[in-house]
């Protein structure tokens, strides 16, 4: 339970509002591990580097990643603040899924899928994932996106290190 709370706080700080933990992110979205651990210790006295490693390893969607040297950490996707994650554009599968709520459908049909506060529209290769994402917002509406055709029409697709497709 504590782990879940910490993980939510990390998502908030590493994607949207680093100031809630007094952090600074670099242009790649990275933050110093020692800084993050120190900040989280103020909320959870027993928190340390190995607890952080557990949060990262056990996170259900692999939302966080350490840098190769282990000195820095970032969120793999989902940011609203300006960061360049450095993902390369790549060939998407022919079809991807987007889960949303039925109440958004009229607006989506009018404007298309929009990225809102985030950097990209998030899509998934697995129908089940899209179902879960959509159900968070209300009554599920599952959309099929013709990503192959979009790519051929010149749109770019990216995939985060934890497997989320973004456009």
Residues in contact with ligand HQG by CB under 6 A are 61, 63, 78, 100-101, 104, 107-108, 111, 113-114, 116, 118, 122, 133, 137, 164
Angle in degrees, CA 112, 117, 118, rounded to 5: 85
CB of 89 to ligand HQG, least distance (A): 18
Q: Closest residue (Cβ) to ligand HQG?
A: 100
Q: Which of residues 47 and 99 has its CB atom nearest to ligand HQG in the complex? A: 99
Q: Which of residues 151 and 159 has its CB atom nearest to ligand HQG in the complex? A: 159
Cα(77)–Cα(153) distance, rounded to whole angstroms? 25
CB of 72 to ligand HQG, least distance (A): 19
Question: Hey, how many other C-beta atoms are within 10 angstroms of the C-beta on 15?
Answer: 23
Closest CA to 92 of 147, 13, 10: 147
Q: Which of residues 13 and 164 has its CB atom nearest to ligand HQG in the complex? A: 164
CB of 47 to ligand HQG, least distance (A): 21
CB of 115 to ligand HQG, least distance (A): 8
Closest CA to 122 of 103, 102, 143, 138: 143
Q: Which of residues 45 and 82 has its CB atom nearest to ligand HQG in the complex? A: 82
| Residue ranges of E strands in the chain | 31-32, 64-66, 72-75, 96-101, 122-123, 140-145, 158-159, 165-166
Q: Which of residues 70 and 138 has its CB atom nearest to ligand HQG in the complex? A: 138
Cα(32)–Cα(54) distance, rounded to whole angstroms? 17
């Amino acid at each position: 339970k504590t782990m879940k709370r910490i993980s939510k706080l990390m998502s908030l700080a590493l994607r949207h509002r680093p100031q809630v933990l007094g952090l600074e992110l670099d242009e790649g979205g990275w933050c110093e591990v020692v800084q993050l651990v120190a900040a989280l210790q103020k909320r959870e006295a027993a928190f340390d580097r190995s607890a952080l490693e557990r949060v990262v390893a056990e996170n259900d969607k692999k939302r966080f990643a350490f840098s190769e040297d282990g000195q820095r950490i970032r969120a793999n996707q989902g940011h609203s603040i300006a960061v360049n994650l450095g993902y390369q554009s790549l060939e998407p599968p022919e079809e991807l899924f987007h889960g949303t709520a039925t109440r958004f459908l009229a607006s989506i049909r009018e404007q298309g899928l929009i990225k809102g506060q985030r950097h990209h529209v998030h899509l998934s290769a697995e129908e089940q994932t899209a179902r879960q994402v959509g159900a968070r917002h209300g009554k599920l509406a599952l959309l099929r996106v013709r990503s192959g055709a979009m790519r051929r029409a010149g749109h770019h697709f990216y995939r985060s290190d934890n497997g989320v497709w973004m456009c």
